[in-house]
Amino acid sequence: MNRNRTIDEDGGRHLDRPAESPAARFEHIDTWVFDLDNTLYPVDCDLWPKIDQRITLFLVNLFGLDGISARALQKYYYQRYGTTLRGLMEDHAIGAAEFLAFVHDIDRSSLNPNLSLATAITALPGRKLILTNGSRDHALRTAEALGLAATFDDIFDIVAAELLPKPAPLAYERFFRKHAIDPGKAAMFEDLDRNLVIPHEKGMTTVLIIPKPGQADHREPFELPGAKALPHVDFATHDLERFLGDITRRRPAS
């Protein structure tokens, strides 16, 4: 039975965790689904700020806006539509290919291979998939820089979702159909709690990735859950490698 879990008031970052060992709740899982940005790499990494800045620059170039106005429009679209791209498509019929290529044209040299995470993901029994609102090329390049490319079976990107981003319910339905996923036998790892609402409703076991205490967080304030109940979050962790390792170490042999 799920219990409501709330954000602690200490900085709005920490979640209450169930007392049981997480391994028991993952014994039935055969498909492991991971978000990409701020999930497979930490929130204090400079990668997302680089993408964020490229989105602003795209709007500057597209509309001839100053930086402040472009930034405001970007965040308006993001909050209303789930991604800036979706807002541009809805309001201005902007094509996706040029936007995705431009905003993901970034330097990834700040990323280092995460061998412990690669080992932990590889040890999970079953399929491992990336589900991202970014492009497939961005996911591939980022996974390669992290040393994770070989650990995943496939990537479901925004193009595969027919340009409909998480948390839209239809985006998940398209993902489930393409990969023949039984949500009741799947787990999802994600840094934005709103993107776990539909997966939880569909029966997925949900894990929210949160910053470590004191860790810098480049996400916008409106992206953070704050002090509210999160019944759609089954577990939360600020150490993904250790969390996954605990699951595989304690999982009964099949």
Q: What is the pLDDT of residues 64-92, one digit of tens each?
A: 999 999 999 999 999 899 899 999 999 99
CATH number of the domain residue 27 falls in: 3.40.50.1000
Asked whether residue 12 is domain-assigned, the answer is no
Asked whether residue 17 is domain-assigned, the answer is no
The total number of structural domains in the chain stands at 2
> Quick one: 196 and 117 in the same domain?
yes
Q: 61-70, 113-122, 219-228: which has the minimum mean pLDDT?
A: 219-228
Average pLDDT over residues 41-45: 92
Closest by CA to 50, choosing from 149, 147, 134, is 134
Asked whether residue 69 is domain-assigned, the answer is yes
Of 224 and 137, which is predicted with more confidence? 137
Mean pLDDT of the chain: 89
pTM: 0.88
Q: Which of 103, 124, 142 is the last residue of a domain?
A: 103
> Quick one: 181 and 230 in the same domain?
yes
Predicted local confidence at residue 229, as pLDDT: 74
Predicted local confidence at residue 218, as pLDDT: 78
Predicted local confidence at residue 3, as pLDDT: 40
Residue 24's pLDDT band, with cuts at 50, 70 and 90, is confident
> Quick one: 122 and 92 in the same domain?
no
Average pLDDT over residues 211-229: 76
> Quick one: 157 and 79 in the same domain?
no
Percentage of residues in the chain having pLDDT higher than 90: 77
Residue 15's pLDDT band, with cuts at 50, 70 and 90, is very low
Answer whether residue 12 shows pLDDT above 50: no
Predicted local confidence at residue 223, as pLDDT: 72
Answer whether residue 191 shows pLDDT above 80: yes
Average pLDDT over residues 231-238: 95
> Quick one: 54 and 139 in the same domain?
no
CATH number of the domain residue 71 falls in: 1.10.150.450
- Residue-number span of the structural domain to which 98 is assigned: 47-103
Asked whether residue 15 is domain-assigned, the answer is no
Both tokens assigned to 176? 């489930």
> 103-107: long-range contacts at Cβ-Cβ below 8 A with a sequence spacing of 24 or more?
103/51, 103/54, 103/55, 103/58, 104/51, 104/54, 104/134, 104/135, 104/137, 104/138, 104/141, 105/54, 106/47, 106/50, 106/51, 106/54, 107/50
From CA 200, how far away is CA 97, in angstroms rounded? Answer: 31
> Quick one: 121 and 88 in the same domain?
no
Closest by CA to 236, choosing from 202, 204, 201, 188, is 188
